A and B are shown apart, each in its own frame.
Chain A
């Protein structure tokens, strides 16, 4: 009885007290999910920083709501795995309010109702989005609707070691003129392989051309160069053009069989791959412009390289994926990362506002310069900090050849299968022709109706 009395007294006292004190200011916590990624720590950092101007704006508008960002850094090693993790989190109602994703996953998120249609929000907030480089919106559209906000942009390239060409006796005109020859379509994919073979045969390098060890965007630009398209724009279905993909696979097979690419490239780890290029035992490395800032300049991966523009370009040159045939068109690939807002979040509007602030040049330029990614707004590209970052200025013209990965919910799986076929070819487990059968078979049974297999695009 005594306890009961005590509890009753406490309850009455508590309710009276709370009625007397004014409602305390509401602090809203926005959950952000961003994969832990050395090549772009400010993808999360900029959203966190954006809370400051947002809170100032809220205060100025007379609201006593304050926003705090709670960051979860996913441990996944790639964006594909991270996207699956985010989907798992959503399925148990632990999904974030806003998250970072590779743009080709937006389709899957949108399909499941985890991506907010941003059309109205963008229209209402032109102060933040009006200056976004228009082509980037293409990477965020699902069925014509903008479902995400571009976070960065990039270009991919073959990095080639000029010192090795000097070693095998090539003249400066050839060495420096190579990017222009590629751009004009005079230097083909096979020429690139032959050149790499020459470098290896003459002992200037152990490895000719090396690429990523797991599924990802880089090798797609090789297939694009051979004329492949991955999606039929009219039907919105994924596409497997056999003849064009075959040509690409034959190129990889030739490299693996002729000592240009190690047959076990797909089983190597990143350190081995990048270390080989940095310590100058590999002639060509295939990845994106951000690698410059991440480990090429200065000391990393077992060697120290110069950090100034002139010395860097004296050693290294950048190439598009050359044309398949003389007179053809070289290709590049951009793989923008995006912010996606969860429409089911109680604080979706506040989360979207954070994204709006983070899109402003003041924030985004820090990510661009710090991690060697391209600008997402024109204003940002004009900022002194951006212009001083020579690696960005030099990469921007290459954007002209850019293509994007299709925003199809099944593209992640499509690409996984394509990579498996590539692995089979390089390791000698499949001939390129067998690999085409493997791809058609595997895609047919795994992706069913969402992929159309055609003999050729012509």
Chain B
């Protein structure tokens, strides 16, 4: 009797010890902020941060009154899709394929180079970009252009979207690269040999052996990075500040500017609520599209 009782106590204690910290962290940093955000979104909190009444005015304004929002949504869509397709997936994959095809050391070197931007602090990284594309003759890019006999350019004014896609893409590519590399490495070597024996060329091998083998990793990186890009704005804020005009103001930056730039805290909260909903919708959609449930199923056979 006592033995059984002490065992049940131990089990409860074990559960608390193992799950407790994670539960507390989740509640504090994921659940609580959403609740706070919802509460603020339905209040009249302005620049003095006081709440005098609860209202649906902010949500109504987000849905019907904000003339900037359609433009902001379009910008966000272009930014997320192009950064994701060109860099986070496309270029990440190219890097993984290329560096795994190279000799081990050379491959590792190039991967390390592509990891550098991720390791540098955001502000430093953004500042470097600002200097590279500075519209004066002293900007690094313009120095190269002038040396080549071309006329200097002003990317910040004339191609701001390209600029933020490049700046974010150079960082984003490394995430996919690492995951795809390890996935490619884990493909059994004999599949490549068999394909070669059957007369497959490099492209055919990629198309018919490598890509199907890393399907789950591709799906996961797409889903994960789409969500990450949707809410990321720090590089955009630091490099173009969302400008010129609203040209590079993505939703997350728009939320930040409304809330902390002009002190419309309640309205910013309502806007970010919209972003949360869109994030959930995108996640569910991609989850369904990639059939992620199949990936999370228990393996049918025991792998030793």
Contact = CB atoms under 8 A, between A and B. Distances in A.
Interface of A: 84, 87-88, 90-91, 108, 111-112, 114, 263-264, 266-267, 272, 412-413, 416, 420, 423-424, 427, 429-430, 441-442, 445-446
A445 B262 contact: no
Contacts of A427: 157, 243-245
Contact of B47 (A84, A264, A424, A442): A84
A99 to B, nearest CB: 14
Contact of B48 (A91, A272, A430, A446): A91
B61 interface: yes
A263 B245 CA distance: 11
Nearest to A281: B136
Given A84-B263, A264-B156, A91 B241 contact: no
B49 A91 contact: yes
Contacts, number: 61
Nearest to B45: A91
B48 A264 contact: no
Report the interface size class on chain B: 20 to 34
Q: Is the interface of A mostly helix, strand, loop or mixed?
A: helix
B48 A267 contact: no
Given A264-B244, A420-B245, 19 more contacts: A84-B260, A87-B47, A87-B49, A91-B49, A91-B50, A112-B50, A264-B156, A264-B157, A267-B240, A412-B262, A416-B261, A416-B262, A423-B245, A424-B245, A427-B244, A427-B245, A441-B67, A442-B67, A445-B66
Contacts of A90: 48
A423 B264 CA distance: 21
Interface string B242-280: 011111000000000000111110000000000000000
Contact of B243 (A108, A114, A423): A423
B50, B154, B263: residue with the most chain A Cβ atoms closer than 10 Å: B263
B135 interface: yes
A108 B245 CA distance: 27
Q: Which of B66, B245, B260 has the most CB of A within 10 A?
A: B245
A429 B244 contact: yes
A267 B135 CA distance: 10
A87 B260 CA distance: 12
A108 B61 contact: no
26 contacts: A84-B47, A84-B260, A87-B48, A88-B49, A90-B48, A91-B49, A108-B48, A112-B48, A112-B50, A263-B157, A264-B135, A264-B156, A264-B244, A266-B244, A267-B244, A272-B136, A413-B262, A416-B261, A416-B262, A423-B243, A423-B244, A423-B245, A445-B61, A445-B66, A445-B67, A446-B262
